Amino acid sequence: MSIKFIDLNSQQLRLKDEINSGIQSVLKHGQYILGPEVRKFEKNLAKFGKSKYALGCANGTDAIVLPLLAWEIGPGDAVFCPSFTYCATAEAIANTGATPVFIDIHRRTYNIDPESLERAINEVKKNRQLVPRAVIAVDLFGQSANYPILSAIAKSYDLKLIADSAQGFGTTLKGKHPLHWADITTTSFFPAKPLGCYGDGGAILTNDDNLAIRIESLRFHGKGEEKYDNTHVGLNSRLDTLQAAILLPKLKIFSEEINVRNFIANRYIDGLKDHVSCLPKIMNGVISTWAQFTIEVTDPELFARRLKEKGIPTARYYPKPVHQQSAYSHFPIEGKKLLNTEDCSNHTISLPMHPYLDNRTQDIIIEIVQKAVK
């Protein structure tokens, strides 16, 4: 049998008529850039994310760059972020001219460690070579970071707080979205994300009126009120109308899909708890979007080969943390070594996870994993 790591086809078949109708509507009216579907999607996305504004953009990386530009963060500024993430988080910082400062993660949740963050802030302040300006927390694998604590730290040092929810958009902590605490929430609509389009796309959510106005200008070449008077140096970063038309029906079923992902995650946990020593740890009060179901094993490469022999795909997320990658190894880290980051990166591996994973297929995966870890 063929088992998919992420099954986009089943969702596409489910939404085929609505997606095709949306695409045909765009082709008919021909407003391919910032057409009516974009505005409708932004309105619906803001409602879902409990935000005043949702601004679509070209991709999830630009979604981080744009608020940094809006805050005029650049050379000489420090922006703190975890290293156990995709490089785009740090890439966005570096592309503004600011300096990413890598911090460690909580060993079980894989999200930013508040104690490491505070130590890093004080190290930067003591060295006086950079000015602390912002924190980017990543909702890794779909789980909300510990925003109440992170927000308190950010406010005490007068730092901006961004929730990078590229994987975790839709996650909540005690019923509240990350934006309840953060200045900005960003997300990505890359196809493999829980809420993905059929190309590149991203969005920024905020409740700040002035910030929303500035970002809306920056995403459109820094446009002003007059067409040929650009008031800022901006980007060409707009969400395509066709992608918005595709995302509209996907957003309608997104809450349902999050519920199904949690059901599937709980079945994994029940089936593997007596066999896998390190299963995902979800904080109290958190609803995860389960972008990935990640476990730890002694030898991930051997484990992956054993599963591949049985037709089960796996994926290794971040076996080489960002601070160890060639383009980023010269940037500062908190302390002398990111112990938790480097330890977990040697053991993590992810199993198939998507809302269309049926019980029978999942039971096969569980049975083979049980044997593979012996």
> H helices then E strands: how many in the chain?
13, 11
Q: Is the distance from CB of 67 to CB of 89 less than 8 angstroms?
A: no
**Among residues of the chain, what percentage have pLDDT more than 90?**
97
Q: What is the pLDDT of residue 89?
A: 98
Q: Residue 62 corresponds to which amino acid?
A: D
Average pLDDT over residues 38-58: 98
Give the whole-angstrom CA distance, residue 273 versus residue 155: 39
Residues 6+ apart with CB under 8 A from 288: 141, 142, 143, 144, 168, 171, 261, 262, 265, 280, 282
Given its phi and psi angles, is residue 222 left (phi above 0), alpha (psi -120 to 50 degrees) or beta? left
**Structural domains of the chain in order of their starting residue, each with its CATH number:** 8-252 (3.40.640.10), 254-372 (3.90.1150.10)
pLDDT in tens, 161-197: 999 999 999 999 999 999 999 999 999 999 999 999 9
CA atoms within a 13 Å half-sphere pointing along the CA-CB vector of 340? 20
The tokens for 316 are 């290794």
Which residues share a beta bridge with 203? 56, 187
pLDDT level of residue 108 (50, 70, 90 thresholds): very high
Q: Mapping DSSP to helix (H, G, I), strand (E, B) and coil, where does residue 1 land?
A: coil
Q: What is the pTM of this model?
A: 0.96
Q: What is the pLDDT of residue 208?
A: 98
Q: How far is CA 143 from the centre of its chain?
A: 9
Does residue 48 have a pLDDT over 90? yes
The tokens for 45 are 């996305």
Does residue 1 have a pLDDT over 70? no
Element (H, E) at 294: strand 293-296
Neighbours of 235 (CB within 10 A): 17
Average pLDDT over residues 293-313: 97
How is 10-41 classified by DSSP, letter by letter? HHHHHTHHHHHHHHHHHHHH---BS-HHHHHH
Does residue 117 have a pLDDT over 90? yes
Task: Collect contacts of 28-31 with beta carbons under 8 A, ≥24 apart.
Answer: 31/241
Q: Whole-number mean pLDDT of the chain? A: 97
Residues 6+ apart with CB under 8 A from 300: 316, 319, 346, 347, 348, 349
Q: How far is CA 214 from the centre of its chain?
A: 23
